[in-house]
Structure 1
Amino acid sequence: MKIYTKTGDNGTTGLLYGGRVGKDSPQIELNGAVDEAQACLGVARAHASTEIALICRDIELDLWILMAEVATQPEKRDHLKPGTTLVSASMVTHLEELIDEISTRFAPPKEFVVPGEEVTAAFLDVARTVVRRAERQSIAFVRDAPDSLVQIYLNRLSDLLWTLARWSEGTSLAARGAHRAE
């Protein structure tokens, strides 16, 4: 099987469960931003501690579910399955639970954060900004799918990425401080 199909040479792309749309359509733009966020998470994961890496991998897998939902025409949404091809309420709840649990592990910053204190945190902050762009782009998508949780998931995901970045910074700074004390 070849990696290229040539079916997109006319500026369109195929959707899950059939149909084609322009590669510049709002839903494909949204999926492009989510794909970019997923790649950014992969870079963060490659530099992260084991626990953050596992969280990032789970999120990357969740983003496939989100992209499947976005790549489905509104009239075919009845084909979607929660947690498999449709963002579910439990996926959003899981992000909220992670935010709450990880937030107990560090003192929140008292002022605006300047990204770049530590490599993993910097990559997580890049991923967060891409997720925020995807969230903005999701507004047009959810107008046609008002029952969708895509925008809410992306909102919580950006909050989780901010939380993970701050935790990673705190862990790294504490480790550097302990090392200097030795």
Structure 2
Amino acid sequence: MKIYTKTGDKGTTALIGGTRVKKHHVRIECYGTVDELNSWLGLVRDQNIDIRSKQTLTKIQENLFVIGAILATDPDKAILKNGKKRLNIAQINTTDIEFLEKEIDVMDEALPQMTHFILPGGHTTVSYCHIARTVCRRSERMSTLLYENEPFNENVLLFLNRLSDYLFVLARKLSENLQAEEIKWIPENTEKDN
């Protein structure tokens, strides 16, 4: 299989199902952002972190490939007129979402209670995790825009929402594991004397 096909040289790309769209189409932005998120998660996984987190991130990355395929599929080509599936695309289900929730709960129970917002940072690994979290949020924003115009499996939106929560809690867990300082955001008093 050749890496370069030259079919995208004029600014279009093919969706799963064959439909060609502009490379700046919201659908391409969606799965491109999921791909970016997946790459950041690979970077987090490559750090010196605990084995459970590495295994969880691998499972999440596999689910992001499924999400990418869902988002890259032309909805008009995925289902035949009689309602049967034309393309055999894997799906995200409630079990995938519950897995994230369980992982969040396990980590959260072992962490000190949060009393303030926390500034991202403290250690490079923690910062990578926060970058992944913000890319996840962008992915979710782009996906909700697409969903408004061309609905797809709603579990994708739920998964992305839960994943950003997971990444926030993972960043806190990694801060603790790496003995990095969590800097609380305490807003300065902005009231002026009269």
TM-score between both structures, scaled by the size of structure 1: 0.87
Matched, 1:51 2:57: no
Displacement, 1:80?
5.6
Structure 2 runs not aligned, ≥5 long? 80-84, 181-194
Displacement, 1:147?
4.4
- Any conservation in 1 of the 2:29–2:142 contact (CA below 8 Å)? yes
Displacement, 1:98?
1.2
Q: In structure 2, what is the equivalent of residue 67 of structure 1?
A: 68
Q: In structure 1, what is the equivalent of residue 7 of structure 2?
A: 7
Q: In structure 1, what is the equivalent of residue 125 of structure 2?
A: 120
What aligned pairs does 1:31-180 form with structure 2 within 5 A after superposition? 31-47=31-47, 48-75=49-76, 76-77=78-79, 78-79=85-86, 85-143=90-148, 144-145=150-151, 147-173=153-179
Structure of greater Rg: 2
- Any conservation in 2 of the 1:135–1:151 contact (CA below 8 Å)? yes
Q: CA RMSD in A?
A: 1.7
- Any conservation in 2 of the 1:108–1:166 contact (CA below 8 Å)? no
Identical-residue share of aligned pairs (%): 36
For 2:126 and 2:167, locate their aligned partners in 1 and report how far apart those are by CA, in whole Å: 9
- Any conservation in 1 of the 2:91–2:153 contact (CA below 8 Å)? no
Greater fraction of residues in helix: 1
TM-score between both structures, scaled by the size of structure 2: 0.82
The 3-state SS of whatever aligns with 1:16 is: coil
1:6–1:159: structure 2 CA closer, same or farther, 3 Å change rule? Answer: same
Structure 1 runs not aligned, ≥5 long? 175-182
For 1:3 and 1:149, locate their aligned partners in 2 and report how far apart those are by CA, in whole Å: 32
Q: Which moved more, 1:103-112 or 1:5-14?
A: 103-112
Q: In structure 1, what is the equivalent of residue 19 of structure 2?
A: 19
Q: Which moved more, 1:101-110 or 1:162-171?
A: 101-110
1:63–1:79: structure 2 CA closer, same or farther, 3 Å change rule? Answer: farther
Deviation per residue, 1:117-176 (Å, 9 max, x gap): 1222211110000000000001122222154222111100000000111011112218xx
